[in-house]
């Protein structure tokens, strides 16, 4: 049944997360960006919302609310409305936990999920991006080769969030088969022999407060049990659809933040004797932002809903991400333009959001995640 | 619950609509070439097809709302052709106005007739409050006397009657504009011609003249003859009609845009150009990327239509969303067909195919029922909390 109404429970979560974004993210975003710093107490406070642990079944010590890609999309929008990089940081363990929930064997779940069910923030991450100017998910350069009864992993990964503090990395590599169907994911402890995390986080245009690292894998040997999903492996297309949908949801929140700040500003800012919002040139930019924020949201919801039904969401997720990548950048761009010179100075958050928008929405944007 | 799946029953309805649409499509070129003719009320094939709308009557728990389904059905029909239907429906835009603003007596009297809606005049389109057609009350005879010209009247030739916008007091501006029901055959009411257009040529678009056309006093829609001192008065009521029709108009255009995309996708697939939904940007050619972008645009626009309609089904306000759906739908209907032709290059313009017709047909979507610019004005006023005076 086609419906655009969140459940009462989802509305409550939205409200809670929105209040958190307002009180814990908005104010902190600027100093975190300037200092390229991610405060531990922020991660801990976000953890206490139960956004990651809630989805873990009670049998593994979690909240047992159930895994819901739709709820996840709603959460990501609200968090990213607060600040996209802080949102990505808070949800980074989810990049490890959610694939584990979806594809993991019972043994993998039993041994790892309890780590994330406690009251303390627990870092784990996903290593997927690589140092190439034409990154293409269907032809990864990190490879997994059979070695003995297990596998040997080799390759270079970039922009791996929280890699220095993560207990485990989920390393996505090319397996025996071609294309996305051939994607494999391996659970690798950070201290595995042959795995090295760069000592300093990478410096990037946006998402400055999210520590992301280069990671090298040099013939890292892992047992067969480290292969996510065991003999079945993973559903690469579903993993990709999840990441694309989540990335689009982050973009949605970011864009909505820009729109909601630009609108009151345009009503306050007076030029030629009247608020600039009373000029069609500006009013139409705002109308366009409203149209596109709604459009992105509907595409994200549709992809998330298909994921929730467990059906093929590749098309919907690709449409959502393609659309979001284009429109989020445009909204951030127009938002900055409405602020004029004030948009260019670092007093307002718009220049930061503009950088974050570019960092988030680049090409095959599993980038921020 | 946020959901986008269709029940089996709803899928069945839409599949049947598509089957019918394919039959209608066979007649599309003929009626485009013969714009002086009207498509038949029922196609010869109708005897072989059950009416799929019978399935829509009963809504079960898993079925989508009637409003949502009617948008999907509408888009499914225009996916075949803008005008030609297996069985031509009754009712016109005037019927929507009658339902929104008519008294119970008026509804029962004219509800069964096909009513067109005459707003636009040679000198006034988007600025509908500038209506020049006048209605003067002849109190002695209890009659209104209408004078003026109307153009672009959809279903205007075939309609049995029309809802006409006219002013009873030019000095009163919007508040003086009222709607009147005039039936065909009323002396002084003349259908002057069928308009010749870029596209939707088979569609019945008429021009009217009213010369001292007398109608009974109770033909004033809603029955309220007063002119409020402040505010828009009855004008707001008639504008309300648009909240219901705007998403539908967007759906009409998007059905055509979808037809253009489907044709383009199939044509390119025949040349070995197909989208792999899993591949990333660097694994896509420019043509594949364009296909993805057009599909995303159409999907976003259609979801906007469904959203606006879903809201009204939930008895929630949808003024803003109706305009969003029309603004987006109009833009995408227009640009998607442009881009599809561009993708197919010189073969895209050939009259061997319907693509060039869809390009022409679609262009109206961003113009009628409020242009894209008018929609943006409505959206901007809504989000900014501005009156028409504050943002004009």
Report pLDDT digits (tens) over A193-204: 999 999 999 999
Q: Give the per-residue pLDDT at A364.
A: 58
Q: What is the pLDDT of residue B233?
A: 56
Q: Are A353 and A335 in contact (CB under 8 A)?
A: yes
Q: Which residue of B has its CA nearest to A366?
A: B280
Distance CA B135, CA B119 (A): 14
* Residue pairs spanning A and B at CB distance below 8 A: 161
Average pLDDT over every residue of A298-315: 97
Q: How far is A369 from chain B (nearest CA, A)?
A: 16
What is the Cβ-side half-sphere exposure of residue B63, based on CA atoms within 13 angstroms?
17
Instruction: Give the nearest partner residue to B278 out of A70, A295, A314, using CB atoms.
Output: A314
Quick one: which H or E segment has residue B331?
helix B319-344
Residues of chain B short of pLDDT 50, as ranges, are none
CB spacing of A136 vs B306 below 8 angstroms = no
Residues of chain A with pLDDT > 90, as a percent, come to: 91
Task: Using an 8 Å CB-CB cutoff, list chain A residues near B280.
Answer: 135-138, 363-364
Is some CB atom of chain A closer than 8 A to the CB atom of B313?
Answer: no
Contact A283 B7 (CB under 8 A): no
Confidence of residue A368 (pLDDT cuts 50, 70, 90): very low
**Amino acid B232: pLDDT:** 58
Structure-token pair, residue B182: 């005039």
pLDDT at residue A11 is higher than 80: yes
Pick the CATH number of A125-232 from 3.40.50.1950, 1.10.1370.10, 2.40.110.10, 1.10.1200.10: 2.40.110.10
B14 touches chain A (CB under 8 A): no
d(CA A240, CA A231): 20
Q: Determine what percent of chain B falls in helix, strand and coil, rounding each to the nearest 5.
A: 50, 15, 35
Up-side HSE of residue B167: CA atoms within 13 Å toward CB? 17
Question: How near does any CA of chain B get to the CA of A328, in Å?
Answer: 14
Q: Is A243 left (phi over 0), alpha (psi -120 to 50) or beta?
A: alpha
Q: Distance between CA B250 and CA B365 in Å, rounded?
A: 7
Q: Kindly state whether B380 is in contact with chain A, defined as any CB-CB distance less than 8 angstroms.
A: yes
Flag if B296 and A319 touch (Cβ within 8 Å). Answer: yes
Is the CA virtual torsion A68, A74, A79, A83 positive or negative?
positive
Rounded Cα gap, residues B357 and A242, in angstroms: 39
Do A293 and B321 form a contact (C-beta atoms < 8 A)? Answer: no
- pLDDT per position as a tens digit, A138-164: 889 999 999 999 999 999 999 999 999
Distance in Å, alpha carbon of A315 to nearest chain B alpha carbon: 5
Superfamily of chain region A8-116: Acyl-CoA dehydrogenase/oxidase, N-terminal domain (1.10.540.10)
Query: Which of B283, B293, B377 minimises the CB distance to A138?
Result: B283
Q: Do B277 and A314 touch (CB under 8 A)?
A: yes
Q: In DSSP terms, which residues pair with A145 in a beta bridge? A: A152
Q: Do B6 and A295 touch (CB under 8 A)?
A: no
In chain A, domain spans: 8-116, 125-232, 236-360
HEC-encoded secondary structure of chain A = CCEECCCHHHHHHHHHHHHHHHHHHHHHHHHHHHHCCCCHHHHHHHHCCCCCHHHCCHHHCCCCCCCCHHHHHHHHHHHHHHCHHHHHHHHHHHHHHHHHHHHCCHHHHHHHHHHHCCCCCCCCEEECCCCCCCCCHHHCCCEEEEECCEEEEEEEEEEEECCCCCCEEEEEEECCCCCHHHEEEEEEECCCCCEEECCCCCCCCCCCCCCEEEEEEEEEEECHHHECCHHHCCCHHHHHHHHHHHHHHHHHHHHHHHHHHHHHHHHHCEECCEEHHHCHHHHHHHHHHHHHHHHHHHHHHHHHHHHHHCCCCHHHHHHHHHHHHHHHHHHHHHHHHHHCHHHHCCCCCHHHHHHHHHHHCCCCCCCCC
- Beta-carbon separation of A277 and B386 below 8 A: yes
Question: Chain A within 8 Å of B300 (Cβ-Cβ)?
Answer: yes
Torsion B178-B182-B187-B191 (CA) sign: positive
What is the spatial distance between Cα A316 and Cα A115, in angstroms, rounded to a whole number?
A: 33
Predicted local confidence at residue B234, as pLDDT:
58
Collect all residues of chain B within an 8 Å Cβ-Cβ radius of residue A324. Answer: none
CB contact under 8 A, A298 and B307: yes
- Write down the pTM of the prediction: 0.94
DSSP annotation of B80 reads H
Residue B343 makes CB contacts below 8 A (sequence gap 6+) with B264, B268, B287, B290, B291
pLDDT for the residue B225: 87
Q: Where are chain B's structural domains?
A: 8-80, 93-232, 235-384
Write the CB contacts of A9 (distance below 8 Å, at least 6 apart in sequence): none
Structure tokens at B73: 């059905």
Instruction: State whether B379 and A290 contact (CB < 8 Å).
Output: yes
Residues of B in contact with A135 (CB under 8 A): 280, 282
Are the Cβ atoms of A138 and B278 closer than 8 angstroms? yes
Q: Which of B321, B331, B356, B369 is catalytic?
A: B369
CB burial of residue A88 (10 Å; 0-12, 13-18, 19+): buried
Angle at B373 between CA B371 and CA B376, to 5 degrees: 115
Contact A304 B63 (CB under 8 A): no
What SS3 class is residue B344? helix
Closest CA to A156 of A141, A167, A145: A141
Q: What's the pLDDT score for residue B128?
A: 73
SS3 category, B115: strand
Angle subtended at Cα A34 by Cα A31 and Cα A39, rounded to the nearest 5 degrees: 50
Q: Is residue B34 classed as helix, strand or coil in its secondary structure? A: coil
Q: Would you state the pLDDT for residue B241?
A: 66
Q: Is A88 within 8 Å of A61 (Cβ atoms)?
A: no
Using the Cβ of B384 and the Cβ atoms of chain A, whether some distance falls under 8 Å is answered with yes
Nearest to B300 among A1, A295, A304 (CB): A295
pLDDT confidence bin for A188, thresholds 50/70/90: very high
pLDDT of residue B325: 98
Does residue A135 sit at the B interface (CB-CB below 8 Å)? yes
Q: Would you state the structure tokens that stand for residue A280, as one six-digit string?
A: 């069609």
Cβ of residue B66 closer than 8 Å to a chain A Cβ: no
B306 neighbourhood in chain A, CB within 8 Å: 2, 4
Provide the chain A residues 2-61 that lie in CB contact (below 8 A) with chain B. 2-7, 10
The answer to whether the Cβ–Cβ distance between A4 and B310 falls below 8 Å is: yes
**Closest residue in chain B to residue A70, using alpha carbons only:** B2
Contact B293 A322 (CB under 8 A): yes
Provide the pLDDT for residue A294: 98
Q: Is A236 on the interface with B (CB under 8 A)?
A: yes
DSSP string, B159-185: -SEEEEEEES-GGGGGGGEEEEEEETT
| CATH for A236-360 (3.30.70.20, 3.40.50.1260, 1.20.140.10, 1.10.287.130) | 1.20.140.10
Structure-token match 């498509």, residue found: B39
* B314 contacts A287? CB cut-off 8 A: no
Structure token pair of residue B118: 């005459």
Q: Which CATH class is domain B235-384?
A: mainly alpha
Topology at the third CATH level for domain B93-232: Butyryl-CoA Dehydrogenase, subunit A; domain 2 (2.40.110)
Give the pLDDT of residue B140: 95
Active site residue B369: yes
Considering CB atoms only, which of A240, A291, A304 is closest to B278? A240
* Chain A residues near residue B295 by CB distance under 8 angstroms: 319
A212 pLDDT above the threshold of 80? yes
* Confidence class for position A109, pLDDT limits 50, 70, 90: very high
Residue B65, chain A, CB below 8 Å: the answer is yes
A172 touches chain B (CB under 8 A): no
Cα–Cα dist B206/B387, whole Å: 34
Q: First-to-last CA distance in chain B?
A: 39
Cα–Cα nearest to B295, from A256, A200, A319, A239 = A319
Distances (CA, A) of A290 to A99, A255, B157: 33, 10, 39
Q: Which residues of B touch A323 (CB under 8 A)?
A: 293, 296-297, 300
Q: With a cut of 50, say whether residue A369 has pLDDT above it.
A: no
Is B210 in a helix, a strand, or coil? Answer: strand
Using a CB-CB distance cutoff of 8 angstroms, which residues of chain B are in contact with residue A1?
3, 5-7, 61-65
């Amino acid at each position: 049944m086609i419906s655009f109404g969140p459940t009462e429970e989802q509305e409550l979560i939205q409200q809670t997360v929105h209040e958190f974004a307002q009180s814990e993210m908005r104010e902190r975003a600027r100093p975190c960006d300037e200092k390229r710093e991610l405060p531990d107490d922020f991660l801990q406070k976000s953890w206490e919302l139960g956004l990651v642990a809630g989805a873990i079944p009670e049998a593994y010590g979690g909240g047992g609310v159930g895994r819901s890609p739709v709820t996840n999309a709603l959460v990501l929008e609200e968090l990213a409305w607060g600040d996209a990089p802080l949102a990505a940081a808070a949800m980074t363990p989810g990049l490890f936990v959610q694939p584990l929930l979806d594809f993991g064997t019972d043994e993998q779940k039993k041994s790892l999920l309890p780590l994330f069910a406690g009251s303390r923030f627990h870092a784990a991450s996903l290593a997927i991006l690589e140092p190439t100017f034409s990154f293409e998910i269907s032809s990864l350069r990190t490879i997994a080769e059979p070695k003995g009864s297990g596998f040997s992993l080799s390759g270079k990964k970039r922009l791996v969030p929280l890699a220095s503090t993560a207990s485990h990395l989920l390393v996505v590599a090319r397996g025996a088969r071609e294309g996305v169907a051939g994607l494999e994911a391996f659970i690798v402890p950070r201290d595995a022999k042959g795995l090295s995390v760069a000592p300093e986080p990478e410096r990037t245009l946006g998402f400055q407060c999210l520590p992301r690292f280069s990671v090298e894998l040099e013939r890292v040997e892992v047992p067969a049990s480290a292969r996510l999903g065991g003999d079945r492996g993973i559903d690469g297309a579903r993993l990709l659809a999840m990441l694309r949908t989540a990335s689009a949801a982050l973009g949605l929140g970011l864009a909505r933040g820009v729109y909601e700040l630009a609108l009151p500003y345009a009503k306050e800012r007076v030029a030629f004797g009247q608020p600039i919002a009373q000029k069609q040139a500006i009013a139409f930019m705002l109308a366009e932002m409203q149209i596109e924020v709604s459009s992105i949201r509907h595409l994200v919801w549709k992809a998330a809903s298909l994921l929730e039904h467990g059906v093929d969401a590749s098309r919907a997720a690709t449409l959502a991400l393609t659309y979001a990548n284009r429109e989020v950048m445009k909204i951030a761009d127009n938002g900055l333009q409405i602020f004029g010179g004030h948009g260019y100075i670092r007093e307002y958050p718009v220049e930061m959001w503009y950088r974050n928008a570019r960092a988030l929405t680049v090409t095959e944007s599993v980038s921020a995640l | 619950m946020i959901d986008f799946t269709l029940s089996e029953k709803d899928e069945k309805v839409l599949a049947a609509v598509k089957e019918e649409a394919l039959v209608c499509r066979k007649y599309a070129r003929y009626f485009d070439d013969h714009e002086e003719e009207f498509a038949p009320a029922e196609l010869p094939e109708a005897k072989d097809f059950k009416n799929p709308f019978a399935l829509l009557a009963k809504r079960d728990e898993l079925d989508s709302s009637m409003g949502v389904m009617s948008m999907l059905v509408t888009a499914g029909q225009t996916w075949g052709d803008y005008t030609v239907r297996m069985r031509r429906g009754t009712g016109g835009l005037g019927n929507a106005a009658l339902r929104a603003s008519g008294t119970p007596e008026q509804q029962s009297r004219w509800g069964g007739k096909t009513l067109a809606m005459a707003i636009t005049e040679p000198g006034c389109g988007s600025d509908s409050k500038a209506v020049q057609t006048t209605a003067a009350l002849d109190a002695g005879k209890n009659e209104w006397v209408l004078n003026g010209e109307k153009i672009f009247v959809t279903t205007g030739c075939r309609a049995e009657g029309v809802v006409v916008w006219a002013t009873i007091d030019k000095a009163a501006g919007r508040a003086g504009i009222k709607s009147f029901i005039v039936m065909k055959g009323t002396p002084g009411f003349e259908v002057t011609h069928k308009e010749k257009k870029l596209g939707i040529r088979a569609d019945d678009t008429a021009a009217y003249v009213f010369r001292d056309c007398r109608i009974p006093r109770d033909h004033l829609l809603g029955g309220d003859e007063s002119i409020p001192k402040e505010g828009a008065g009855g004008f707001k009521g008639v504008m309300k009609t648009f909240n219901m029709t705007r998403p539908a108009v967007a759906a009409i255009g998007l059905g055509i845009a979808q037809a253009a995309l489907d044709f383009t996708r199939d044509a390119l697939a025949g040349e070995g150009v197909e989208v792999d939904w899993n591949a990333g940007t660097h694994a896509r050619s420019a043509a594949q990327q364009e296909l993805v972008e057009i599909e995303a645009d159409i999907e976003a626009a259609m979801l906007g239509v469904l959203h606006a309609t879903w809201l009204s089904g939930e008895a929630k306000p949808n003024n803003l969303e109706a305009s969003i759906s029309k603004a987006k739908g109009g833009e995408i209907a227009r640009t998607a067909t442009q881009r599809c032709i561009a993708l197919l290059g010189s073969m895209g313009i050939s009259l061997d195919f319907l693509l060039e017709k869809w390009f022409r047909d679609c262009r109206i979507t961003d113009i009628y029922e409020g242009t894209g610019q008018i929609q943006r004005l409505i959206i901007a006023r809504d989000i900014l909390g501005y009156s028409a005076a504050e943002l004009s």
